[in-house]
Amino acid sequence: MVGEVAVDVSRYSGIVILTGAGISAASGIRTYRGPGGLWNDETLVRLSDGNTFKTAPLDVWRFWSGARRLSMEASPNAAHLALAGLERRLRPGQGLTIVTQNIDGLHGRAGSSRVVEFHGSVLRTRCSSPFCDLPPFEDRSLYEVSVPSCPRCGAPLRPDLVLFNEAIPERDYAEALAALERCDLFVAIGTSGTVYPASGFVDQASARGARTVFLNLESLGEGRGRFGEEYLGRAEETVPRVFGEGPGS
């Protein structure tokens, strides 16, 4: 559906926005699925698996160092900036939570402060040992020659990401679920809506009677019934229009 309506966010007290790779495409970040997607390459899938880090940590670091470099060079686009602007316009008592499946840090750099990085951040590093108390830390270093070691326990350091065969951190999952409990407007942007567990967010929001809106380049097709509204187009074009400052629906 083209010709989307503007959303008057002043009508809603609990807003949850789920974002995926499509919102960062205009910033030069490759998407994961579809034509040209990262997960079409079996090698990249292998290097994004938590089990691979155990056997070939340097290979994993070389791949994700490239992704780190790309994220550092990228800039927030109009979609990221529109959501940051939306947060600034909220009145007292309104809540907004962005749950992003992206790891590029662009929401924060655009100015959004209420962000749950559901799959971690490529711009952070943490210890690989589950018994170490070193907290994840911001890191712009590129590890392409050797695997860094934890300064506290000596175990290999790793990107602070949720890789394949790894679970979403309990704290991030709980924060997302708490936001959904208060949700009366749920918007998914630039995501296929098929990756578990985020794929179930729309159902939880809908069960609460929330308005549900899908913004993406490609339609959900028959699966659109899970969303009340669907508007198609590039995120950097549709998001500023839908969340413009003028009066809306």
The enclosing domain of 142 has a CATH number of 3.30.1600.10
173 shares a domain with 60: no
| 20 and 82, same domain (yes or no) | yes
- Whether 36 and 24 map to the same domain: the answer is no
DSSP 6: P
- So which residues are the catalytic ones? 119
> In the chain, how many domains are there?
2
Per-residue model confidence as pLDDT tens digits over 70-124: 999 999 999 999 999 999 999 999 999 999 999 999 999 999 999 999 999 999 9
**Could you tell me which residues are beta bridge partners of residue 211?**
185
Task: Give kind and range of the element (H or E) at residue 78.
Answer: helix 78-89
**CATH number of domain containing 245:** 3.40.50.1220
> Structure pTM?
0.93
Whether residues 188 and 220 fall in one domain: yes
Instruction: For residues 185 and 237, state if they share a domain.
Output: yes
What whole-number distance in Å separates Cα of residue 172 and Cα of residue 195?
A: 16
> Do the beta carbons of residue 6 and residue 241 sit within 8 Å?
yes
Are residues 34 and 134 part of one domain? yes
Last residue of a domain, one of 136, 161, 186: 161
- Judgement on whether residues 140 and 206 belong to the same structural domain of the protein: no
Q: Based on the domain organization, do 139 and 222 belong to the same domain?
A: no
Same domain for 24 and 142? Answer: no
Q: What pLDDT, in 10s, does the model give residues 122-150?
A: 999 999 999 999 999 999 999 999 999 99
Return the pLDDT at 247. 41
Is 59 in the same domain as 128? yes
Same domain, 212 and 89: yes
Task: Show the domain range for 60.
Answer: 30-73+124-161
For the record, the structure tokens of 210 come out as 């929330």
Name the phi and psi angles at 102, rounded to 5. Answer: -85, 155
For residues 232 and 219, what is the distance between their CA atoms, to the nearest angstrom?
7
196, pLDDT greater than 60: yes
